[in-house]
Copies of this chain bind each other. A is one copy, B any other.
């Protein structure tokens, strides 16, 4: 494909971990072409000096948001990866001017049409509540058709993606009822590139701990999404944990009410035809998906009870990988274009 046939895309917030991973996918994507990238803290710096892994793959400097705004006309889509709370200001401003451009938001701002829940979990008032209903929730495997026609897509968070992929098949099968018990361990890349005590190497490198047990903010979007799939009453008891690795999420769900055979039927029905989610017997391993846009569901158990595992890369299927999947759909490209690259065995 010649360069002039590729669709132009812009990236807002390209120097954070999610933005950097989006760029990593875009530079080898055959159907699109990066036109500009913003990064507030690195305006004017060479992109490949800030992101040395992209040396040889990308040229040019980071722009200011204002400079990018002036070049909205060059792009068919914009991927927005901003700090918490900022995209609810930025996207309405830009999308108001360019109604045909696809916006994919990586933040938590537009993932539910629930300003009250937003206030409860994020502890602040939403700045653009009237924009909430315009967004499509970008869990690709379940919202594929809506995403195809969408201009505004709210990409799920990393824990939310793994929770949803693990729980949704049960919801569809009518097996999500009452108290649900699920533990999720995350690598440190999920915390972004801003240093903090929780990601300080001496205190993280050999450590393991939980945080926000039963009260993680991603439960907002997860429960909202799952309720679109089932009318059963359920409550997700989710315990997030921090592990001493960089990339990956490992999810463990107890299913006391379904044996291994039934589980295999349910999950193969859900994902048997999917390119980026696979199903297996036994425990998957986080390293199988590190650096990739893929998730693996694993099933273990006995005749009358089971356990469901899910591994997902925070920055892959949990963020940038799924964003590219959604970008492809919204732009009319093949869903997995630019995503068919395997990770290493180690």
* A interface residues with partner B (beta carbon < 8 Å): 17, 20-21, 24, 27-28, 51-57, 179, 181, 183, 185, 187-189, 191, 193, 195-197, 199-211, 213-214, 237, 239, 241, 243-248, 250, 252, 254, 256, 275, 278, 283-288, 290-292, 294, 296, 298, 300-302, 305, 307, 309, 311, 315, 340-346
Contact = CB atoms under 8 A, between A and B. Distances in A.
Given A24-B342, A213-B301, 7 more contacts: A199-B200, A207-B245, A209-B250, A210-B252, A239-B252, A246-B346, A291-B344
A309 B246 contact: no
Identical copies of this chain, number: 4
Given A199-B201, A205-B246, A254 B241 contact: no
Contacts of A21: 344-345
B213 A205 contact: no
B309 A179 contact: no
A52 B311 CA distance: 13
Top 7 nearest A-B pairs (CB, nearest first) are A195-B195, A210-B283, A20-B345, A188-B201, A213-B300, A202-B346, A208-B286
A343 B246 CA distance: 14
26 contacts: A17-B345, A21-B345, A24-B344, A55-B278, A57-B340, A185-B185, A187-B202, A188-B205, A189-B346, A195-B196, A195-B200, A199-B200, A201-B205, A204-B205, A205-B246, A206-B246, A206-B287, A210-B250, A213-B283, A214-B300, A214-B307, A239-B307, A241-B250, A243-B244, A291-B344, A341-B341
Contact of A286 (B197, B206, B340): B206
Nearest to A183: B183
Contacts of A28: 340-342
Contacts of A245: 205-208, 244
B56 A206 contact: no
B346 A247 contact: yes
Contacts of A205: 188, 201, 204-206, 244-246
A294 B53 CA distance: 10
Contacts of A206: 205-206, 245-248, 286-287, 290
B244 A183 contact: no
Contacts of A55: 278, 288, 296
Nearest to A190: B202
A217 to B, nearest CB: 16
Given A183-B183, A252-B239, A210 B307 contact: yes
